[in-house]
A and B are shown apart, each in its own frame.
Chain A
Amino acid sequence: MATATILPAPRLMTRIRLKAPILVILSVIWIIGMVLTAIFADLLRPYDITRMDLVARLAPMGTPGHWLGTDELGRDVLSRLLQSIRVSLVIAFGATILSALFGTTLGFLAAQFRGWVEHLVMTLADFQAALPFMIMSLAVLAFFGSSMILLVCLMGFYGWERYARIARGLAIAASAQGYAAAVVQLGATPRHVYIRHILPNVASTLIVSMTLTFPEVILMESGLSFLGLGVQPPQTSLGNMVGFGREYLTRAPWIMLAPSLVIVLTTLSISLLGDWLRDRLDPTIR
Chain B
Amino acid sequence: MTAGARPACGSTVPGNLLLPEVHMLRFILAKLSRAALTILLVMTFAFVVLRLSGDPAQILLGPDAPQDAVEAFRARWGLDDPIWQQYLAYLKQILSFDFGVSMRDQSPAIDLVLERLPATLALTVPALMLKLAIGIPAGVYAALHRQSVADRGVIMLSIFGFTIPSFVLGLVLVLIFAVKLDWLPSGGQASWRHAILPIATMSIGGIGILARFSRSAMIEVLGQPYIRTAMAKGLPWRDVVWRHALPNAAVPIVTLIGFMVGALIAGAVVVESIFSWPGIGRLIVVSVANRDLAVVQCLLLVIAASMVVANLLVDFAYGLLDPRLRAKSPAH
A residues lining the B interface (CB < 8 Å): 123, 126-127, 130-136, 138-145, 215, 219, 222-223, 226-229, 239, 242-243, 246, 249-250, 253, 256, 260, 263-264, 267-268, 271-272
Contacts and interface: CB of A to CB of B under 8 A. Distances in A.
B180 to A, nearest CB: 9
19 contacts: A126-B34, A126-B38, A130-B304, A131-B307, A132-B263, A132-B265, A134-B269, A135-B300, A136-B300, A139-B288, A140-B49, A142-B289, A143-B288, A219-B165, A229-B289, A243-B167, A264-B163, A268-B159, A272-B159
B15 interface: no
Interface stretch (B73-81, B171-179, B323-331): B171-179
B317 interface: no
Interface stretch (B39-47, B109-117, B141-149): B39-47
A208 to B, nearest CB: 15
Contact of A271 (B53, B162, B291, B311): B162
Contacts of B296: 139, 143
Contact of A263 (B168, B289, B303): B168
Sorting the interface of chain B by its residue count into under 10, 10 to 19, 20 to 34 or 35 or more gives: 35 or more
Contacts of B42: 131
Interface in B271-316: 273-274, 284-285, 288-289, 291, 296, 299-300, 303-304, 307-308, 311
Interface of B: 34, 37-38, 41-42, 45-46, 49-50, 53-54, 159, 162-168, 171-172, 174-175, 179, 262-263, 265-266, 269-270, 273-274, 284-285, 288-289, 291, 296, 299-300, 303-304, 307-308, 311
Contacts of A132: 262-263, 265-266, 303, 307
A130 B167 CA distance: 23
Contacts of B289: 142, 228-229
Contacts of B285: 138, 227, 229
Contacts of B266: 132-135
B172 A246 contact: no
A149 B237 CA distance: 58
Given A135-B284, A140-B49, A130 B311 contact: yes
Contact of A139 (B38, B49, B270): B49
B269 A135 contact: yes
Given A139-B300, A223-B270, A227-B285, A249 B163 contact: no
